[in-house]
Amino acid sequence: MRSQLLLIGGRSGVGKSTVAAEVHRQLSEHGVHHAWIEGDNLDMAFPVPWQQGHQLAEANLAAMWSNYRAHGYSRLIYVNTASVLGHVIDALTTAMGDNPSVSAVLLGSSDEVAEQRLVQREVGGGLEHALGRSRLAARELEASAPAEVSRLDTDGRSATDLAAEIVQWSGWRAT
């Protein structure tokens, strides 16, 4: 069976992880077999692996997906800021190694809403850095994500409603 990959991307503070958790909950509630991987955790190290020329996230994804596939999983939710960019989609599907069908959604929000969310989330001295990275990522993602990537605005919408729309759109749950 060909695997299926659902990519959820977007700027910091847009709600990727929150929406993915709700997608996971809704799919689980309906008995849909799937795995969920937070891409940021696959290469969180210092020195930063990709800045050193190491494709550690892709290698770790390959290992993890191989294990999931060995246990019968064929659907993967993958969450990462840049996961919806063309070259990243190519790297992720290559790492999975089984030519998955891909559905991708770019979550968006206004600078003000993302800033409010980041202020609530960030601790320590990283807030200003996170705010700057978020603004830059929003513009790059919107300009560079392929046209076939669906776009959803999260401003004023609940994670429950956004997840329901993504689940319906993905076709992973029969109605």
pLDDT surpasses 70 at 141: yes
Does residue 79 belong to any structural domain of this protein? yes
For residue 12, being part of any structural domain is answered with yes
Is 175 contained in some domain? no
Residue 155 falls inside a structural domain: yes
104 occurs within a structural domain: yes
Report yes or no on 27 lying in a domain. Answer: yes
Our count of domains for the chain comes to: 1
Residue 78: give its domain's CATH number: 3.40.50.300
**Which among 165, 171, 169, 153 has a CA at the least distance from the CA of 106?**
153
Owning domain of residue 32: 4-170
pTM of the model: 0.95
pLDDT over 90 at 4, yes or no:
yes
Say if residue 164's pLDDT is above 90. Answer: yes
Confidence (pLDDT) at 174: 58
143 lies in a domain?
A: yes
Mean pLDDT, the chain, rounded, equals 95
Asked, as a colleague might, if the bond just before 47 is cis with ω within 30 of 0, I would say yes
- pLDDT tens profile 41-63: 999 999 999 899 999 999 999 99
Q: Is residue 86 part of a domain?
A: yes
b/e sequence 19-58, b meaning 16+ C-beta within 10 Å? bbbbbbebbeeeebebbbbebeebbeeeeebeeeeeeebb
